Structure formats: C-alpha cells, structure tokens
C-alpha cells in the first residue's frame, strides 16, 4: 500500500523508509563546521621565551621562573610542553637552536651538578629547551637577570641565551591540529578534548548517526525548494525537519522558500527587495512544527487573535501552512503530543541559513543542522571571517569567506548550542541550486 | 536627543510597554513593541512563543505580520520600531532585511541581543542597509516587567516557558527585587 503513485512523494507510514520517497538521495558526506572559538584558537599565537639548559636544571629553573613571575599561573600553557628535547622540536627551531648552542662542557669544571651529569666529561651533556613564559609577562632583560642569579648561570661564564618564538595561544581542538602545530611551532600536548567546540567523540557519534540519510533529507529539501520556485512563490531554497529517535525517522516538516508569495497565495507581481523575510524556508518549517504541536495538544491554546489584536489575514504572512504538494504530504499529525518547540529535532537546509534563520534554529533548540551550500555573504552558521575588512568599504563582505557569526556554537554568549555540518557533495549534478549569492537563505 | 524628541520617543515606548503588560497578563515573556510611521502606530506586537509553541514568534514578528497583511513591504523603510527589550539576533536580522529605518528599545538583552547586547547585526558588514539603534528608553520599566514575569512563573511552578533565559537557574522562590542596578540585567555594550 505504500507504493508511490506518480506525482506522489511519499509514503503514508512512519517511520519513513527513504527508498519509498521518490527523491534520489544526494551523494556526499558531512563536514563539521568550525566554531568561532576554534577558528580563533587556530589563528592566535603568543610570543614566548625559550632557553637552553642542561637537563638536570630544567625543573629547578621552571620553579625559579614560577616564583619570579607570579602572573604565570593566570596564563593557560597546558597545551604547550614546557621541557622539550631538541629532536622533538620543529625543524626550523632545531636548526636555530643547534647553531647557537652554548659551551656547556666548560661548566663541568665549575658546577657540582654538572659534574654529576657529565661524569668527568665522558658523556655529552643532555640539553633541554624550556618554554619559560609569554613575553608579555616579563622583559627579556629582567628574565636574563633573574636567571643569572641561579644555577647553572650563577658564577658561570655562560650567560642565558633567551630566544623568542611564537606558539599557539590556545589549546588544539583535534589530534591532527596538535600534530601540525608540533611541526610548525612547538611540541604540543593534546588531551582528546575540545574546549572550543563539541567534543570530538560526540561529534563523530552524531555524524555517524545521521550521515546515511542526510543525502535523502537534503534531496527532499531540494525538491521542496524546486516546487515553490516552480510556482513562482519563492527562491530555490528548501528545508526539512526530521525527528530521529534510534533508527526511527519521522519527517515532521517540509518547506520551500515562499518570499514571493502574496497574501492571497499567488506570486507577487514584482520581485523586488527582500520579499517576505518571514517566509524563508526555515521559518516556514519551524512554523509548521508549531502548528502540528498545537493540533495534537490536549488543550486549546486560544485563538491567534489573542496576541495583540492580531487579525486573521496576518496569519498568511507567516506562510506556515503547505503551499505545494510535497509540503502537504508531510503536514500530517505525525507528531507526539507534549513535545516542546524543536527540542531533539534535526533540520536540513539546501543552503546555509541567513542570520535570522540561524538564530531561529537556535531559539527553537534544534539538536542538529545540516546545510548544502555555504552562503558566504549572508549565512549565519559558519564562523569564517571576511578575509579583509580594511579595503575601505565598511559594508562590503568578502565573497570567499563569510560573516563570522558561527551562531550554532557560541555557548558563552547565546545560551544554546547545536551541532552543525555542511554537506560536501560527491556528485556533479548534486551541486548547488541556482540562487544568487547575495540572497538571504 | 532634545526634550521634544525625548517626549516623542517616550510616547511610543509607553505604547510598547502596554503591549508587554498584555504579554505578562497572558503568561508570555513581557516584551512588547509598536511600529511607527509618520507619527502613527501601524503595528503592535507582544511575545507569543508560549501560546504558539513556536520559538520564533517574538513581538516584532507578530507586529510585522500584522503590518504586512495591510501594507507593502516597502512601508518599513519609513518605519521605526519601539520595543521594550533589545531585538534578539533573529529579529535584528529580520529588521535589517526588511529595511527598517531605526530601532528604539528599553533594556539590553544580554542573552540574545542582536543590536549591541551580544552581537551587532544591525551594523555589521552585510548585503542589507544598516540601521541606527537607540537603547535605554524606559529601561527600568522593561527590566521590572521581566522580573515580575520570572517571579510569576516561579510561583506557578512552571519552568517550561520560553523566557530570555532558557530555564530558571534555581527553583527556590524568588522575591521581586525592585532596585534597579545599572549593571544588573543589562549592560551597555555599544
């Protein structure tokens, strides 16, 4: 009984079996978005002092430094190894340091500790490179003076050689990044956590949970956009809301963009300006979920006119009832009563949602979001910044980067966060829909 | 802002506060707004998220829907918004896309504010024309209403409502604080 009829998009049963949808799943894979803090962490460096000392002095010197620079404990250096052997440093540092290595051998005649270390000069002195402190905390002259008052520099001919090098200011967010930084900057320790975004294992589990069907939902979203576009009601942008519990999947809402839909449901005569911003696909789909929840709720919430003298005509402005066949197919009462907003739901959009829609997704407390194409001029989810804002045009944005909002994951500011991916298409024809880059999706 | 201008803006902010009071009486987060064109109110709105089970039904959207049911979208280019609480990031972006002329608000929104409280969507680089904002008009009144709401919700023992904060932080009964500290609920960040 579930055989799709010509012109019918679905299936009457839940959970939906994707093969019963008439859409062809898009081929591709999920790529997790970088959070704003992750991108900041990847770029920010600080200058630190590094000195060379015999291994036996390493601990003592770090203690001296700790006492001499009280502010050191306010700086988080946990991702940076403090004591490193030459061979574990990046190549350019190895070259730099070995060319300026000091004549420690001569110390053996003056210092006791070196005598133990060197055992009569038979064994070469083992050297270590110490990351002392950020340069912002102490001047190099002060540091040198402090070191001179302690072994092995005290009463020695050898004066400390203080190098200044840049290192990543913040902890790495993945093992790959830690490895890369170790080659580029300094030996980095990685603790399999991500203080600047979702935990790697949480992200991996979530991606594995949704990846197999993401291409199907994106194809369905695309169909929704194509249908409203074909009716001249909106841009070719579409959105699907899914409830996934275990292996069960329910399609709760399908909506195409309807910004060019007038109050009576016909296309507006002149497509000028932004159109009806409230009828973006994401806003419509969220509205449909709200309407479904009201329908299945036990109590009558009261008429819409309760809200500030609202008249009935304004309901059409939201465009959150079906306009096309595919939207109608899923506007059924397939939602459990008692749910709240879009908690635990996933949303799939053909294009990166604009700032308004990104924040609407956050307000609605979605769990996960996947979008098809980036919208670098208007998108609210990606965190990449415009490459240059110093070109004199204050309101220009760089077409190849983004607006830098990263709205999906700013927990210290926005009080809700969700996981977000972009879809990397693996098929020629599965590419972007034909919308202008300056459009707000 | 001279006295005459101040009086003009306060007149409309009082109307916005009336809408927020209506929201409070309907167990909605007390945020109210009016849209004004040529000295006339062309739309009124109050928060409607709890009744509609739709987290996007903010006061601004309710009023916009009302306006657009009767006017062309271009009317907004000659229209100013008066809202008791700073527009959130979503509304700030919607207003910019629609081409609003200016926004006047009461208190800042430290959770979700889009015009200075958290982000500055009204003036950041973007494809749409930026708009000016003026905050702090009857700020104390706006804050008092939010406080009344949290106390009212707490007395009912309901925690499932959409407020500016996702959930009350503590369940013990709160008392209504009447002192307005400059840095308590909102902070001037612009």
Give A2-28 pLDDT, tens digit per residue.
Answer: 444 444 444 444 445 554 677 899 999
Dump pLDDT digits (tens) for A373-406.
999 999 999 999 876 544 445 455 555 689 999 9
Q: A325, A343, A334: which is closest to A256 by C-alpha?
A: A325
Contacting A residues, span 337-356, partner chain B, CB-CB under 8 Å: 340-342, 354-356
B110 → chain A, closest CA residue: A413
Please determine, for residue A182, whether its predicted confidence score (pLDDT) is greater than 60.
yes
CB–CB of A351/A433 below 8 Å? Answer: yes
CB–CB of A101/A128 below 8 Å? Answer: no
pLDDT of the residue at A1: 39
Q: Bigger pLDDT: B134 or B169?
A: B134
At A297, the pLDDT band (50, 70, 90 cuts) reads confident
B62 to A310: CB separation less than 8 angstroms, yes or no = yes
pLDDT of the residue at A193: 82
* Tokens read off for A336: 């459990």
User: B117 at the A interface (CB within 8 A)?
Assistant: no
pLDDT of the residue at A152: 84
At A192, the pLDDT band (50, 70, 90 cuts) reads confident
B164–chain A nearest CA distance, Å: 9
**Highest-confidence range of A7-16, A74-83, A136-145, B5-14, by mean pLDDT?**
B5-14
User: A417 at the B interface (CB within 8 A)?
Assistant: no
Q: A149, A163, A184, A150: which is closest to A102 by C-alpha?
A: A163
User: B66 at the A interface (CB within 8 A)?
Assistant: yes
Q: Bigger pLDDT: B78 or A116?
A: B78
What is the full DSSP assignment across A335-368? S-TT--TTTTEEEEEEE--BHHHHHHHHHTT-SE
B56–chain A nearest CA distance, Å: 6
pLDDT of the residue at B171: 43
Task: Please report, to the nearest 10 degrees, the dihedral formed by the alpha carbons of residues A312, B87, A195, A383 taken in order.
Answer: 80
pLDDT of the residue at A160: 86
B56 to A263: CB separation less than 8 angstroms, yes or no = no
Percent of chain A residues topping a pLDDT of 90: 61
**Token pair 């055989």 is at which residue?**
A3
Average pLDDT of the residues in A245-268: 94
Please determine, for residue B18, whether its predicted confidence score (pLDDT) is greater than 90.
yes
CB–CB of A137/A69 below 8 Å? Answer: yes
User: Which chain A residues are Cβ-neighbours of B112 within 8 angstroms?
Assistant: 359, 363, 414-415
A340 → chain B, closest CA residue: B53
pLDDT of the residue at A372: 96
Residues of B with catalytic roles: 60
B73 to A304: CB separation less than 8 angstroms, yes or no = no
Helix/strand/coil (H/E/C) assignment for every residue in chain A: CCCCCCCCCCCCCCCCCHHHCCCCCCCEEEEECCCHHHHHHHHCEEEEEEEEEEHHHHHHHHHHHHHHCHHHHHCCCCCECCEECHHHCCHHHHHHHHHCCCCHHHHHHCCHHHHHHHHHHCCCCCEEEEEEEECCCCCHHHHHHHHHCCCCCCCCCCCCCEEEEEEECCCCCCHHHHHHHHHHCCCECCCCCCCCCCCHHHHHHHHHHHHHHHHHHHHHHHHHHHHHHHCCCCCCCEEEEEEEECCEEEEEEEEECCCCECCCCCECCCCCCCCCHHHCHHHHHHHHHHHHHHHHCCCCCCCHHHCCCCCCHHHHHHCCCCCCHHHHHCCCCCCCCCCCCCCCEEEEEEECCEHHHHHHHHHCCCCEEEEEECCCCCECCCCCCCCCCCCCCCCCCCCCCCCCCCCCECHHHHCCECEEEEEEECCCCCCCCCCCCCCCC
At A111, the pLDDT band (50, 70, 90 cuts) reads very low
At B161, the pLDDT band (50, 70, 90 cuts) reads very low
B65 to A317: CB separation less than 8 angstroms, yes or no = yes
Please determine, for residue B179, whether its predicted confidence score (pLDDT) is greater than 60.
no
User: Which chain A residues are Cβ-neighbours of B65 within 8 angstroms?
Assistant: 278, 310, 314-315, 317-318
Q: Bigger pLDDT: A195 or A163?
A: A163
CB–CB of B35/B12 below 8 Å? Answer: no
SS3 state at B37? strand
Count of Cβ atoms closer than 10 Å to residue A119 Cβ: 10
At A94, the pLDDT band (50, 70, 90 cuts) reads very high
Considering only CB atoms, B51 lies closest to which of A283, A302, A342, namely: A302
A285 → chain B, closest CA residue: B54
* Tokens read off for A32: 């997790």
pLDDT of the residue at A9: 47
B54 to A340: CB separation less than 8 angstroms, yes or no = no
pLDDT of the residue at A390: 44
Dump pLDDT digits (tens) for B66-115.
999 999 999 999 999 999 999 999 999 999 999 999 999 999 999 899 99
d(C-alpha A114, C-alpha B33), whole Å:
77
Average pLDDT of the residues in A356-364: 98
User: A389 at the B interface (CB within 8 A)?
Assistant: yes
Percent of chain B residues topping a pLDDT of 70: 82
User: B122 at the A interface (CB within 8 A)?
Assistant: no
B69 to A286: CB separation less than 8 angstroms, yes or no = no
pLDDT of the residue at A311: 52
Choose the mutation target among A308, A309, A404 for the interface with B, i.e. most B CBs under 10 Å: A308
Between the CA of residue A228 and those of A232, A351, B163, what are the distances in Å? 6, 15, 34
The interface predicted TM-score (ipTM) is: 0.87
Considering only CB atoms, A308 lies closest to which of B19, B53, B56, namely: B19
Average predicted confidence (pLDDT) for chain A: 86
Please determine, for residue A312, whether its predicted confidence score (pLDDT) is greater than 60.
no
CB–CB of A285/A255 below 8 Å? Answer: yes
Dump pLDDT digits (tens) for B38-51.
999 999 999 999 99
CB–CB of A72/A82 below 8 Å? Answer: no
At A428, the pLDDT band (50, 70, 90 cuts) reads low
B54 → chain A, closest CA residue: A290
User: Which chain B residues are Cβ-neighbours of A360 within 8 angstroms?
Assistant: 55-56, 90
B88: DSSP letter? B
Q: What is the pTM of this model?
A: 0.81
d(C-alpha A413, C-alpha B44), whole Å:
29
Dump pLDDT digits (tens) for A321-339.
999 999 999 999 999 998 9
B55 to A360: CB separation less than 8 angstroms, yes or no = yes
d(C-alpha A189, C-alpha A338), whole Å:
46
Please determine, for residue A154, whether its predicted confidence score (pLDDT) is greater than 80.
yes
């Amino acid at each position: 009984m579930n055989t799709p009829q010509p012109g019918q998009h679905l299936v009457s049963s839940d959970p939906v079996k994707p093969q019963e949808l008439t859409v062809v799943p898009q081929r591709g894979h999920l790529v997790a978005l970088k959070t704003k803090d992750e991108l900041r962490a990847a770029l920010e460096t600080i200058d630190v002092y590094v000195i060379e000392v015999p291994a036996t002095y390493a601990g003592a010197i770090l203690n001296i430094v700790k006492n001499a620079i009280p502010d050191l404990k306010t700086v988080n250096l946990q991702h940076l190894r403090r004591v490193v052997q030459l061979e574990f440093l990046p190549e350019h540092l190895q070259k730099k340091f070995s060319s300026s290595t000091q004549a420690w051998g001569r110390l053996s005649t003056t210092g006791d500790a070196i005598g133990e270390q060197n055992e009569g000069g038979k064994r070469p002195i083992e050297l270590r490179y110490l990351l002392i402190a950020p340069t912002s905390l102490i001047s190099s002259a002060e540091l040198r003076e402090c070191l001179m008052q302690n072994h092995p520099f005290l009463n020695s001919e050898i004066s400390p050689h203080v190098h200044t090098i840049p290192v990543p200011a913040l902890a790495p967010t993945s093992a790959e990044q830690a490895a890369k930084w170790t080659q580029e900057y300094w030996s980095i320790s990685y603790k399999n956590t991500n203080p600047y975004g979702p935990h790697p294992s949480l992200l991996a589990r979530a991606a594995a949970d949704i990846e197999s069907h993401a291409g199907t939902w994106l194809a369905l979203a695309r169909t929704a956009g194509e249908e409203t576009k074909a009716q001249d009601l909106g841009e070719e942008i579409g959105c699907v809301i899914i409830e996934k519990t275990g292996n069960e999947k329910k399609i709760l809402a399908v909506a195409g963009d309807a910004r060019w839909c007038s109050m009576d449901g016909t296309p507006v005569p002149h497509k000028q300006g932004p159109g009806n911003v409230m009828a973006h696909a994401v806003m419509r789909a969220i509205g449909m979920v709200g309407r479904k929840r009201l329908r299945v709720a036990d109590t009558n919430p009261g008429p819409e006119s309760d809200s500030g003298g609202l008249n009935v005509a304004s309901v059409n402005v939201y465009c959150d009832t079906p306009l096309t066949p595919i939207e109608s197919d899923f506007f059924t009462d397939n939602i459990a009563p008692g749910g709240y907003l879009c908690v635990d739901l996933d949303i799939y959009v053909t294009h990166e949602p604009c700032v308004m829609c990104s924040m609407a997704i956050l307000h609605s407390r979605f769990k996960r979001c996947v979008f098809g194409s980036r919208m670098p001029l208007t998108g609210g989810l990606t965190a990449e910044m415009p490459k240059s804002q110093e070109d004199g045009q204050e309101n220009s944005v760089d077409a190849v980067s983004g607006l830098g909002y990263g709205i999906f994951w700013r927990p210290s500011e926005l009080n809700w966060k969700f996981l977000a991916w972009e879809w990397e298409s693996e098929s020629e024809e599965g590419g972007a829909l034909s919308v202008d880059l300056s459009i707000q999706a | 802002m001279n006295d005459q201008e101040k009086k003009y803006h306060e007149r409309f902010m009082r109307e916005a506060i009336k809408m927020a009071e209506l929201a409070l009486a309907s167990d909605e987060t007390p945020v109210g707004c009016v849209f004004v064109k040529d000295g006339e109110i062309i739309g009124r709105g109050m928060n409607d998220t709890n009744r509609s089970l739709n987290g996007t039904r903010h006061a601004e959207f309710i009023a916009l829907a009302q306006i657009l049911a009767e006017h062309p979208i271009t009317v907004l280019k000659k229209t100013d918004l008066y809202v008791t609480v700073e527009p959130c990031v979503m509304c700030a972006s919607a207003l910019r896309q629609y081409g609003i002329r200016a926004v006047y608000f009461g208190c800042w929104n430290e959770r979700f504010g889009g015009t200075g409280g958290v982000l500055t969507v009204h003036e950041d680089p973007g494809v749409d024309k930026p708009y000016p904002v003026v905050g702090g008009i009857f700020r104390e009144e706006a804050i008092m209403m939010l406080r009344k709401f949290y106390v009212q919700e707490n007395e009912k023992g309901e925690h499932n409502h959409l407020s500016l904060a996702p959930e009350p932080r503590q369940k013990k009964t709160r008392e209504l604080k009447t002192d307005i500290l400059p840095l308590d609920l909102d902070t001037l960040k612009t």
